[in-house]
Amino acid sequence: MADGPIFLNERGLSLEVRVQPVVLLTIIDHFTRRNENQKRVIGTLLGSVHDGIVEVSNCFALPHMDAAADVHLDLAHHKLMLRLHKRIAPREQVVGWYTTGDEITSHSVTVHTQFYSDLTASPILLTVDTAMRGGKLGVQAFTGAPLGTSDRPGGVVFAPVKCEVKMFEADRVGINLLQRTRAAPNRATPLLTELDTLEASIIKLQSHLATAVAHVEKVLAGKVPSDAELGRMLSDAASSVPKFEAAQFEKLFNSNLQDLLMVMYLSSLTRTQLSIADRLNSAVF
């Protein structure tokens, strides 16, 4: 797509869009809460642009009305909301906008060229297919390049760009928890304790090990051709388990255990003291 000068603008081409999960969930929430008879929702994407990578970290809804030939945007709403957002995260800039549905209509062109192009040099467009026409909830990103010469602008070409979801460590933990609501009958799940998550991880690890062992056995039996690359990776994994002398491990294990027992004992002692203090207080007063 970079072979035509038409896609280039003075700030260069946006090559990749990275979206944080919270943005997509906000868009979906906005869509769920749309007015009756409203077919789609639109809103502003906030984030940063760095080396051709657009990182979308936040967004907010923009009320609008689709008329026959034109789109009415609530500009006052946009202005105020942008100001409020700036107070929380001053570094987040307008990077583009989103809309639901899987197609780009003439309305989209109007919004893109007449509103968002004024806010930022090369706005991106994110579409979320809430009708799930493709059998899935497709998320696509586009960059819009203006057509025509500078003194006679005429329309805009939307070129798809690579779009992926970017998760931070804490996001992944959150998403992992959210995943559990899918299987639950009422789409609600309680929080997990640390031990629950540890158990899940161990079970997962076991299943991975079982897969690896099964594969190795198949290779040994000659049923599957051996793969040198895979073999090397497996041996790397196997050797990553630290090897201890039995006595040394025993010593480490015991000292750790004793530390923990000690700490637990002290904390229990503190709690007992607190209970006594409470009783005394209620007795005195």
Q: Distance between CA 197 and CA 176 in Å, rounded?
A: 10
Query: Could you tell me how far CA 208 lies from the centroid of its own chain?
Result: 25
Closest CB 249 distance from another protein, rounded Å: 5
CB of 213 to another protein, least distance (A): 15
| Residue with Cβ nearer another protein (69 or 191) | 191
Please count the other Cβ atoms lying within 10 Å of the Cβ belonging to residue 133. Answer: 11
Task: Report the nearest approach of another protein to the CB of residue 93 (Å).
Answer: 15
Task: Return d(Cα 31, Cα 41) in angstroms, integer.
Answer: 6
- C-beta of residue 129 within 8 angstroms of C-beta of residue 137: yes
DSSP 46-68: EEEEETTEEEEEEEEEE-EEE-S
CB of 86 to another protein, least distance (A): 9
Q: Please say which residue, 226 or 275, places its beta carbon nearer to another protein.
A: 275
Nearer Cβ to another protein (58/93): 58
Q: How far is the CB of 49 from another protein (least distance, A)?
A: 17
- CB nearer to another protein: pick between 179 and 235: 179
Burial 210-247 (b: 16+ CB within 10 A, else e): eeeeeebeebeeeeeeeeeeeeeebeeeeeeeeeeeee
Residue 147 or 184 with smaller CB distance to another protein: 184
44, with CB counted inside 10 A (0-12, 13-18, 19+), is: buried
